[in-house]
């Protein structure tokens, strides 16, 4: 019997809209063109039907998984049902969860505590499922993997991993349980370079910043394409593991979530939170874009936002009045414009993730063309940055940064009362910017200008 052979193509335009409760309907739409499936993925060596993903036949694998349901249980009905649902409906391996007994992991080591639980690193000798080996009648796995184990309280985060197209998002392989604490834990990709802040603080040279920003925006775009908002977007939740990944989807919810309440405060990291969110307005995708603007400035300036002041009611008031982090003078003008547009006080003035991704992709292409201004701007930016760093002591800078004792960068519940009405962010006095920085007016069509960017 011929072994399954498949070739991978991007399915972001289809898969990014998947919602668990509508999965079957979405699947039918995606699978209806049999000839395209055959061309893209080949023919299954067992059922002779076109594949549904890279080395993947949904029909055959669903039968295999179902036959194995009787051989495992997490001890929790809801978790069992979620894992089984993913296995029966996965169109490719990265949408397939497993129940993974804790003894499968070795050298489990505590890393840190995030906003939603403890995080550990671990070695996984067996590794994750990649495809069914017809010849040997067993799952082929990526052996000797390193993973992160993260405790969780709610299944919402795991559902989000299933509902969002995987590109740019930390992948979830399954669920395990700590036998000592009885905590359930997600098994996630391990990103060896840590979060964005540790990455930029300990990297002496980096000429790929536009590319990295485009990958961050691509991850956020996939969240938004799935009809969701992240709700806790900051540099600690962006990881580097060969490329950029967005993590911590514990707060991720559908846009216009009717269950969202404005009476108990909001959850997040104050310097990254949009002013309308601080005032308990409904969280929108534009609020994620505001947070992205703060992240973008932090990444390019390599300065932690508001690290020298308490993260308290006074800072919340100042943010609502228009206060934003300082934009250093060496950041290229095109990024100054984008950053300020992202953190505009008026949500309707902020660009969408799609618009930002188009702009950054275009700029990344122009970055390497010596005839374009962006090439010289980025080279000058790197020279200034390199000069600032050349005398830096060879120590872990992330450990040497001094912050105010009341500057808190882990997610927490915030409930500020009587915040001021939102202030027009185009007011020059609202920003800590340099005198040669041009502030776009309310009428400036910045996104059109950036998309038509010609040097």
Mean pLDDT, 10 residues at a time, over the chain (455 residues)? 37 34 36 73 88 90 96 94 93 92 96 79 96 93 94 79 81 94 93 91 83 95 92 94 89 70 75 94 95 97 94 94 93 94 96 96 90 88 82 55 86 80 47 42 41 37
Fold of 194-389+406-414: Transferase(Phosphotransferase); domain 1 (1.10.510)
Q: What is the DSSP string of 411-453?
A: -EEE---SPPPPPPTT-GGGEEE-TTPPPPPTT--HHHHHHT-
Q: Which residues contact 124 (CB under 8 A, 6 or more apart)?
A: 104, 105, 106, 144, 145, 146, 147, 187
Q: Is pTM, for the whole model, over 0.85?
A: no
Domain with CATH 1.10.510.10 in the chain: 194-389+406-414
Contact between 235 and 295 under an 8 Å Cβ cutoff? The reply is yes
Determine the pLDDT at residue 393: 57
Determine the pLDDT at residue 349: 96
Q: Among 93, 71, 231, 245, which residue's Cα sits nearest to residue 162?
A: 93
Q: Among 156, 139, 148, which residue's Cα sits nearest to residue 176?
A: 148
> Which long-range contacts link 38-41 to residues 24+ away (Cβ below 8 Å)?
40/6, 40/7, 40/8, 40/9, 41/6, 41/7, 41/8
Contact between 339 and 438 under an 8 Å Cβ cutoff? The reply is no
Domain with CATH 3.30.200.20 in the chain: 13-189
Determine the pLDDT at residue 313: 92
Per CATH, the number for 13-189 is: 3.30.200.20
Determine the pLDDT at residue 439: 36
Q: What is the largest CA-CA distance in the chain?
A: 73
In the DSSP assignment, the letter for residue 34 is H
Contact between 382 and 203 under an 8 Å Cβ cutoff? The reply is no
């Amino acid at each position: 019997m011929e072994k399954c052979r498949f070739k991978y193509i991007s399915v972001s335009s289809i898969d990014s809209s998947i919602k668990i409760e509508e999965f079957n309907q979405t699947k039918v739409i995606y699978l209806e063109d049999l000839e395209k499936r055959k061309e893209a993925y080949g023919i299954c060596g067992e059922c002779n039907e076109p594949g549904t993903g890279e080395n993947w036949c949904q029909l055959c694998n669903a039968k295999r998984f179902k036959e194995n349901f009787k051989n495992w249980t997490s001890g929790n009905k809801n978790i069992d049902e979620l894992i089984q649902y993913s296995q029966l409906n996965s169109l490719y391996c990265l949408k397939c969860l497993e129940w993974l007994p804790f003894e499968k992991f070795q050298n489990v080591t505590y890393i840190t505590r995030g906003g939603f639980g403890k995080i550990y690193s671990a070695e996984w000798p067996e590794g994750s499922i990649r495809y069914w080996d017809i010849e040997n009648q067993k799952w082929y796995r990526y052996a000797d993997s390193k993973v992160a184990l993260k405790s969780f309280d709610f299944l919402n985060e795991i559902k989000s991993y299933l509902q969002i197209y995987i590109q740019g998002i930390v992948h979830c392989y399954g669920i395990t349980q700590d036998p000592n604490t009885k905590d359930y834990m997600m098994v996630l990709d391990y990103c060896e370079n840590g979060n964005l802040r540790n990455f930029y603080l300990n990297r002496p040279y980096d000429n790929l910043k536009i590319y990295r920003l485009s990958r961050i925006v691509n991850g956020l775009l996939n969240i938004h394409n799935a009809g969701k908002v992240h709700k806790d977007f900051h540099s600690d939740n962006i990881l580097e593991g060969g490329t950029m990944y967005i993590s911590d989807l514990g707060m991720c919810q559908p846009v216009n979530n009717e269950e969202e309440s404005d009476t108990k405060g909001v959850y997040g990291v104050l310097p990254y939170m949009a002013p309308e969110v601080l005032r308990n307005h409904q969280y929108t995708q534009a609020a994620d874009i505001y947070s992205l603007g703060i992240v973008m400035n932090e990444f390019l300036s390599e300065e932690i936002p508001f690290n020298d002041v308490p993260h308290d009611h006074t800072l919340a008031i100042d943010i609502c009045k228009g206060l934003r982090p300082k934009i250093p003078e060496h950041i290229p003008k095109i990024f100054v414009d984008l950053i300020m547009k992202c953190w505009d006080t008026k949500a309707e003035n902020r660009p969408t993730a799609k618009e930002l991704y188009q702009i950054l992709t275009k700029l990344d292409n122009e970055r390497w063309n010596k005839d374009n201004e962006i090439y010289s701007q980025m080279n000058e930016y790197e020279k200034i940055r390199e000069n600032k760093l050349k005398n830096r002591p060879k120590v872990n800078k992330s450990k040497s940064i001094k912050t105010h004792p009341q500057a808190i960068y882990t997610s927490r519940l915030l409930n500020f009362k009587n915040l001021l009405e939102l202030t027009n962010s185009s007011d020059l006095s609202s920003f800590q910017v340099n005198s040669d920085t041009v502030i776009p007016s309310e009428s400036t069509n910045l996104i059109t200008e950036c998309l038509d960017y010609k040097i």
